[in-house]
Amino acid sequence: MKTITGIAKMQEFSRQLHAGGLTVGFVPTMGYLHDGHLELVRRARTECDTVVVSIFVNPTQFNNREDFEKYPRDLAADRAVLEHAGVDVLFLPEASEVYAPGAATHVHVAALGEHLCGPTRPGHFDGVATIVAALFNMVMPDVAVFGEKDWQQLQIVRRMVKDLHLPVKVVGVPTLRESDGLAMSSRNARLGENERRLAPVIHRALSLAVDAYRSGEKRSSTLLALARAAIEESPAFRIDYLELIDGEALTPVETANDGSVVAVAAFLGGVRLIDNVSLARPRALDASSGADIRMRREDAHHA
């Protein structure tokens, strides 16, 4: 696996690949990798000849300094995990080069950024859209792979690519979960033992809404009340939002249909967890999915 830090070097390498007739698949991440990330790598590999993974904890998408500083980092293990997964290029841009002095340009995707996580995290999606656009210009991928775990982010990236006519195919991958249903997330590492035990309640609550929908209940208020009651059974959670939305427009819907998504953000201890499920029959991930390229973090340290 090749490691590239300079932006011009990354562009040059990508140009060479394209000149040689090879396609480039790209997985942008903030590191502290887990199996969910590797699912994206696997997908990029099926789509393209070459796989580039970036690790960049993007300061401009954190609206809180403490959250940025506490974001887990472990480059040594990430490197081993990616090597084991057969990634071709690890791209590690440096903040000082990404944001040169005087940087003043933002990508703002209106409307989509104003729902769900938008109000609680002002500026977050501008930070995301701007860095994704910039990373696309650095890596010049044919295909970029994102997780449905961050449903709002995925819709915003799709919109941006469409509006700016960026020559990148965006692929979404279903959320990879722990065996108890908790959506895999780098932030889970910040949960205490007790919180970790409680965390799967979020997915169970969303599943209650899905089950009720499949049994014929279409009223959003009823579906959300079921999920809310399940989460609020434990006083450890503080719900930021719990909404039934149109999966593309991200606006709340009163009557659920197969295009609806139930999305939640909740604080558990000091950690903000997000999750979502589609009311349409989910595309289940095979339980053995990704087993061939996975490596445990503990083992990665010894690799």
**Residue 186 sits in the site that holds ligand AMP (CB under 6 A):** yes
- Among residues 18 and 59, whose Cβ is nearest to ligand AMP? 59
Return the residue of 183, 266, 271, 277 that touches ligand AMP, per CB under 6 A: 183
**Residue 139 sits in the site that holds ligand AMP (CB under 6 A):** no
Say which of 37, 115, 124, 203 is annotated catalytic: 37
Rounded to whole angstroms, the Cα distance separating 278 from 281 reads 7
**84 assigned to active site:** no
Chain position carrying tokens 């090597």:
83
Please, what is the minimum distance in Å from the beta carbon of residue 33 to ligand AMP?
A: 7
Handedness of CA 222, 226, 227, 231 (dihedral sign): positive
**Residue 185 sits in the site that holds ligand AMP (CB under 6 A):** yes
**Residue 276 sits in the site that holds ligand AMP (CB under 6 A):** no
Rounded to whole angstroms, the Cα distance separating 216 from 128 reads 37
Neighbours of 237 (CB within 10 A): 22
Return the residue of 4, 17, 38, 40 that touches ligand AMP, per CB under 6 A: 40
Please, what is the minimum distance in Å from the beta carbon of residue 179 to ligand AMP?
A: 13
Q: How many residues bind ligand AMP (CB under 6 A)?
A: 17
Tokens describing residue 70: 């506490």
**CB distance 262 to 280 below 8 Å:** no
Q: Decide: residue 24, CB within 10 A, 0-12 exposed, 13-18 middle, 19+ buried.
A: buried
Active site residues: 37
Where do contacts with ligand AMP occur on this chain (CB under 6 A)?
Answer: 29-30, 36-37, 39-40, 146-147, 149-150, 173, 175-176, 183-186
